[in-house]
Amino acid sequence: MWTGLKKCIPTTRAGRRELSAISEMESEEVLVAKMKSPVIYAARAELRPLVIHGPQPGGQLTITTEVENYPGFAEGIQGPELMQQFEEQAKRFGTEFLVTFVNKVDLSRRPFTLWTDEGHEVKAETLIVASGASAKWLGVPGEAPAPEGLGGMGVSACATCDGFFFKGKPIVVVGGGDTAMEEATFLTRYASRVTVVHRRDSLRASKIMQDKAFKNPKIDFVWNAELREILGSPETGVTGVRLYDIKAGEESEFACEGVFIAIGHKPNTDVFKGWLDMDEVGYIKTAGVSMATNIPGVFACGDAQDSVYRQAVTAAGTGCMAAIDAERFLDSLPIETSTGESVTIEGEVVSADQQSVTMPDGEVVSNIPDDQPPPADGAGQPGGVYARPSTEL
């Protein structure tokens, strides 16, 4: 999901003005979001957000069923309904929505520029990336979401979301990393038996997670095996899997009633590669307790940034943090007037050529540092000598 914000500058703040002249596709902030908490916070801060999202608004929560661990819903709530509630809440405070994909960005200078598949060009003074992550899938027959496959009918990529529905049933987990060990261990709470199918004869998972899984009497391992097909029908749900023994070169059928694909997640951050610092998987790096990235004015939150917790509630929390960071960032920026002057939050007016500053009490002071000659053409650069450092939050 992609969200753009037009900032409605409170007129009560000295020197600030409504940005009513900006075109529909220009904004002071852009959020790129699966979760809607940044939008809700931004909207309530009178930033009039424009959400730009793909055809799956709400991301992974829209492909899950019952969400039982999101605070405030004592009886649980369906994932799509929770996302719908978020959207309605965001709309209540003036959020606009645009369905499209962002396919290119230029973060070299503010305003940042984003281009979409539909040909929009979005200008933004700040950007929040909350594009989420997608579970990796094997791409085998039977895996696709129903009705094409058995996805949602016994096939899942989220044990925390769906494990509860497999009480007393035998389950297969595919993968050999920490996610697979964590999912397998978690699923033993419900399943009668959990069989981990791994394509090699050793695990990639950390030793502590391996030991935990090996010690669990409800977990078995099938080594050197590829899952080639998920068996079953819409009527029966999952009834088994077709496995390929890599060493023996033979196929066999293995009975089970649930399949959890746990071969990792991929953050949806490709479009920001080369701009934002990321780890080797693609999770965006943020600084300290803030959601700030390596580019001042760009923030990241949720599963695009979090490789550890990856829960709806943690994504909502970091989304809130990013929105607050972005609002403070905007507040630290001078606002340009139609005559080219910049007005700071304190009401100081920086001349169009950035050579002088008129203080709120009317005093005019020089804006040229003692040791620096004025620019030859007399024109100041945006964010020039007077403008506050953009990292100030």
CB of 160 to ligand NDP, least distance (A): 11
The size of the interface with ligand NDP (CB under 6 A), counted in residues, is: 17
| Burial class for 194, CB neighbours closer than 10 Å (0-12, 13-18, 19+) | buried
32/55 Cα distance (integer angstroms) = 14
Is 325 in the active site? no
| Catalytic-role residue among 158, 256, 301, 320 | 158
303 binds ligand NDP (CB under 6 A): no
175/167 Cα distance (integer angstroms) = 21
| Catalytic-role residue among 106, 161, 178, 279 | 161
User: Of the candidates 169, 152, 107, which has an alpha carbon nearest to the alpha carbon of residue 293?
Assistant: 107
176 binds ligand NDP (CB under 6 A): yes
Pairing relationship of beta strands 170-174 and 193-197 according to DSSP bridges: parallel
CB of 265 to ligand NDP, least distance (A): 6
| Catalytic-role residue among 162, 303, 306, 325 | 162
> Is the Cβ–Cβ distance between 130 and 31 less than 8 Å?
yes
Closer by beta carbon to ligand NDP, 182 or else 327: 182
352 binds ligand NDP (CB under 6 A): no
| Beta bridge partner(s), residue 33 | 130
Is 161 in the active site? yes
324 binds ligand NDP (CB under 6 A): no
CB of 316 to ligand NDP, least distance (A): 20
46, 178, 331, 336: which one binds ligand NDP (CB under 6 A):
178
Is 158 in the active site? yes
| Beta bridge partner(s), residue 31 | 3, 128
185 binds ligand NDP (CB under 6 A): no
142 binds ligand NDP (CB under 6 A): no
Q: What is the CA radius of gyration of the chain?
A: 26
CB of 206 to ligand NDP, least distance (A): 6
Part of the chain binding ligand NDP (CB under 6 A), chosen from 144-152, 196-204, 322-330, 371-379: 196-204
Compute CA distances 3 → 47, 123, 368, 388, whole Å: 11, 12, 38, 26
Q: Mask of contacts with ligand NDP, 203-222, x by CB under 6 A? A: -x-x----------------
CB of 221 to ligand NDP, least distance (A): 12
138 binds ligand NDP (CB under 6 A): yes
CA angle 148, 154, 155 (to 5 degrees): 65
DSSP annotation of 285: P
SS3 label, residue 97:
strand
177 binds ligand NDP (CB under 6 A): yes
Q: Mask of contacts with ligand NDP, 256-275, x by CB under 6 A? A: -------xxx----------
187/157 Cα distance (integer angstroms) = 12
48/101 Cα distance (integer angstroms) = 20
**Given strand 102-106, what is the order of strands in its sheet?**
102-106, 112-116, 121-124
> Is the Cβ–Cβ distance between 39 and 90 less than 8 Å?
yes
26, 182, 306, 341: which one binds ligand NDP (CB under 6 A):
182
Active site residues: 158, 161-162
- Note the residues at the interface with ligand NDP (CB under 6 A): 138, 174-180, 182, 199-200, 204, 206, 263-265, 307
